[in-house]
Structure 1
């Protein structure tokens, strides 16, 4: 498990390309996948306890939008909103997008990220800890998130690992060297 990914921000071009994309189709897809996951894994909701009905904002530093996650046995939902419109969240988790994915897939240690300030938490810390502990215990994989099993899940997991590795390598290469500045002419 890696512990210090501070250079894992996506290039600004990614944010520029994502910004104009319509939010409703992505919200619908993420909400549907989340509801299906909760239906398949009711243990996740039980582990969350009282936190299950409070919205938690996931704010990627390097993307233009935030994700407002509401987990509930019947009405789980992911809303994509402007970063300035997360006021009804009980807790806010902020980090670069690849770091957030690394937390989800177990690549990174959340405690180390918190203490290195690559991961920042605002609001009700106990809600974020409950979510983190639940996700860690659940041992979710991309294949499981998509509801796949067997060879299909293995294929999706391997593809996801490969793609994330390539994106992380690209993010490392595109980061300016320490002490240098990029100038636009």
Structure 2
């Protein structure tokens, strides 16, 4: 059975990988402190296994690459959980430690690399919608409206949480 995933089935890994890598490179350009904060852990290969998605993502910070891969890919560490948990953590809606201790997110492998990435992303206070719009050029308004529609229909947190953590 295919997981319920909020993105269209026609998005293939090849084009998706180009988009994901462009997004990661743009974020690194706009937020260079993220890579500096990773220090010697920037070379780690982190598998982000979104359990309700058809494929996980492999984050390679030093190579500025984010790609859709098979679940059995070689990596240094794995972060596993539902998309909503990852987005809540990224956007400041939930504390990463609380998500780990509650079991909403699981980590294995090089936990120091996972914590370095989590801390670097927390410090950057990223907003996924802003990051997508920044890469969208003239399509930015359409991307923002699409993200707002997707957030309303799916219940996913696609923008930075402005209040305290829930």
Which TM bucket (shorter chain)? 0.7 to 0.9
State the TM-score, normalizing by the size of structure 2.
0.77
> Which structure has the greater CA radius of gyration?
1
User: 2:36 is matched with which residue?
Assistant: 46
In 2: Cα distance, 1:60 partner to 1:131 partner: 16
Higher relative contact order (CA 8 A, sep 6+): 1
Residue number among 115, 135, 140 corresponding to 2:126 in the alignment:
140
Please provide the CA RMSD for this pair. 2.9
CA distance 1:154–1:126, change in 2 (3 Å):
farther
Please, which of 87, 96, 105 is the counterpart of residue 110 of structure 1? 96
1:131 and 2:121 equivalent?
A: no
Number of residue equivalences: 151
Structure 2: stretches of 5+ with no match in the other structure: 157-166
Aligned position for 2:3: 12
Contact between 2:4 and 2:53, CA under 8 Å: does it hold in 1?
no
Cα displacement (A) at 1:157:
6.5
Unaligned runs of 5+ residues in structure 1 are 1-10, 170-185
Distance 2:142 2:91 in 1: 16
| Distance in structure 1 (CA, Å) of the matches to 2:111 and 2:75 | 12
The Cα of 1:109 is off from its aligned counterpart by 1.4
Query: Does the 8 A contact of 1:64 with 1:82 survive in 2?
Result: no
